[in-house]
Chain A
Amino acid sequence: MADTLRVNPIACSGHGVCAELLPELIALDEWGYPIIEGRPVPPSLDLEARRAVAACPTLALKLSRG
C-alpha cells in the first residue's frame, strides 16, 4: 500500500528543504511553501520521501499509510 505525503501547514514555516530533496513530488509556491498534491508516493521514491520527512526542520512533513 503506497504512502501519501502530507504537510502540517501550521508547523510548516517554508524552509523548503523538502522540495530540494524530493522535487519529483514537492514544488514550492511563490511564497516558499510546499505544494503537495497528496498523491501516493511511488515505491521508487519511497526512500527519498522518508529522507525528506526526516530532514524537515519543523517535522511538518508527514508520510502516512495509504
Chain B
Amino acid sequence: MTMASVDEAADWPTQPGGPTRPVRVDQAADALPRVLPPAAGVPGDLRAHLSRHGRPPYQGGHGRLIQAAEQAGLTGRGGGAFPVHRKLAIVARARGRKVIVANGAESEPASRKDALLLRVAPHLVLDGLQLAAEAIGASEAHLYLHPGIAPEVARALRERKAARLDRIGVKLTEAPQRFLAGQESALVNRLGGGPAVPTFVPPRVSERGLGGAPTLVQNVETLAHLALIARYGPHWFRGLGTPEEPGSMLTTVHTEDGTHVVEAEIGTSLRTLIAAKANAHGLDCSAVLIGGFHGAWLPAAKAATLTLDNKALQPHGAALGAGVIAALPAGRCGLIESALVARYLAAESAGQCGPCLNGLPRMAAALAELAGAELAGAELAGAELAGRGHRRQVPADLKRWAGLVTGRGACTHPDGTARFVRSTLTVFADEIALHARGQCSATQCSATSRTPFLPLPPGMPTTEDDWI
C-alpha cells in the first residue's frame, strides 16, 4: 500500500470517543500512514499517540538526531525541500541563546495538510519540536499556526504538560491570514511583534532570527517526520520513497469531488494519487496544478505520466512545493482560474519592493485581459467574454514582467508568481487563443460561478493591521 489518507470530514468521528483500549500498530517500514494516525480513533488523542509511538525519545545529546536526519535524507516539507540536517547543524553550531519555531501557518490557500496534521496528530508534531529543540540546544520554542486550530493545540500542550512529556514550554502565536505569513523572515518578524512581512536576507534567520538569536524554522510536517525518525531510525524512514527523495509526504489533492489530504509515498504516480480520491468523473481533467499558487500547471496528459517526486517533475518545470495537487476539471477554464489566482497573489504582495509592487498587479491585470475580462475586486468582470480580445502586446508584456520581477524581491513571492504565470501562458495557450476570439472551452464558467475551483480567500489586505 502506497497511500493512506484522512478526509477532514469523512473519516473522523465528530464526537470524542473511539476504542477504549487503543491498539498499538506496528510501524512497518513500508506501511502507511506514518505521520497521519490510522483512520479510526480520536483526533489528537494523547493515549493513542503514546500507545502507538511511545514517549518522545530524548537523545541526551546534540549530535545524534542530526546524524539520523542526515542519514534519513529528510528534506523540509514546507515547500523549500531543504535538507533538514543542514538547517539543524547550522543552528546547533551557533553559540548563545537559540530559538525553534514550528511553522504551521500554512499560508498557501490550496494546502490543508498542516492544519489537519495539527488537528489529528499534534503530539507527533510536538514531539518533533521537543526533539529538534534538544538537538539544537534551543531554550525557547514557538508554534506559529492558523487561528482556527489554536484551541485544540493548546489543549494538546496542556495534556503533555500533565504527562510531563515536554522539556521546554511552547508559545503559541496565531499567524495572520496572509500568503506571506509563513515565509521564514516574515514569521520571525511577526513573532518579534511586528507585521508578517519579509525582511532582507542576509542575515538568514538561522544566523540572526528572533530577538537576534539563531532561529530554526521547520514546517510542522517536517517535525512530525523527524519525531518518527528519532524512534524508528533512518533505515526505517528510507523504507518508502525514492533513494534521492526518501519517505512519505502529505499532499492536498483537489479534484471535482472535493479536497482531501493524502499521505503518499514519494514517487507515487500522480495518476494513482488523483484517482484515489476522485471517481471516474474526477479523473476527467484538463490540467494539473502542482505545488500550489507558486507552482506550475502541467497538461493532464503529461501529468499522468509523472510521479510525486522532484526528480521527475523538475525537468517539466514543476516542483512538489508544499504538496498541493489540483486536478482542474475538464469543464472549467484554467485561464480564468489562473487570472483569479494571479490577482490574489498580487494583492498579497507586501508592497515593500519596487519590482514586486509594480510587476505583480500588472501581470494580474494582463492575465485578466487575456481571459477577456477585467479585474474587479476579487472577481473578474466581463462574464460574457464577448469577443473583447486582448491587445497584441499583452502576452509579450506578461513575459517581460515575469522576467523583470524574478529574483528582484526580498523574498521569492515575485519569483513564484512569475513561475505560475509563465506556466499558465504555456499550458493554456490554446485557451488564450480561444478567448481572443470571444470563446471559452469551459462548460462551467469560473467567472460567472460563485465558487472558483481553486480556493481563494476573500478580501485583500489594505491596512497594517491586516498583517498582524
Contact = CB atoms under 8 A, between A and B. Distances in A.
Whether chain A touches chain B in the assembled complex (some CB pair under 8 Å): yes
Nearest to B356: A9
B408 A10 contact: no
B385 interface: no
Contacts, number: 36
Most chain B C-beta atoms within 10 Å of own C-beta, residue among A9, A11, A14, A35: A9
Contacts of B404: 29-30, 35
Interface stretch (B98-106, B347-355, B387-395): B347-355
A10 B358 contact: no
A20 B352 CA distance: 23
B410 A10 contact: yes
| Central interface residue in B198, B199, B200, B410, by most chain A CB within 10 Å | B200
B382 interface: no
A51 to B, nearest CB: 23
A38 to B, nearest CB: 8
Contacts of B409: 9
Interface residues of B, number: 14
A5 B143 CA distance: 37
B410 A13 contact: no
A5 to B, nearest CB: 13
Given A29-B404, A33-B408, A35-B408, A9 B358 contact: no
A26 to B, nearest CB: 12
B355 A29 contact: yes
Contacts of A32: 354
Contacts of A13: 354
A50 to B, nearest CB: 20
A29 B409 CA distance: 13
A14 B408 contact: no
A55 B355 CA distance: 21
A39 to B, nearest CB: 13
Interface of B: 198-200, 352-356, 358-359, 404, 408-410
Interface of A: 8-14, 29-33, 35
